[in-house]
Amino acid sequence: MKINTKVELGIVALTDIAIHSEDGQTVRSSDIAQRQNISHKYLEQILLVLRQGKFVKSHKGIHGGYHTAV
């Protein structure tokens, strides 16, 4: 089975969020992009799809970011 890059990076981003969102804390997309060496703009597109699919939730503001939806 062949998995395209967007799906692969979505799994990587979701895993990163799960690992780094301890105790309900949010993870900033810029931190994910830096840790995983992914373009921030491209990551934002992927996170939008993950949010629409209800895999992650986002929070705005100074302490905003993403955390898993489960």
Given a contact cutoff of 8 angstroms between Cβ atoms, the answer to whether 17 and 68 are in contact is: yes
Determine the topology of domain 5-68 in CATH: Arc Repressor Mutant, subunit A (1.10.10)
Over residues 11-59, the pLDDT tens digits come to 999 999 999 988 778 999 999 999 999 999 999 999 999 999 999 999 9
Measure the CA dihedral 42/46/51/54, to 10°: -170
Q: What is the pLDDT of residue 63?
A: 82
- Could you tell me the pLDDT band of residue 61, with boundaries at 50, 70 and 90? confident
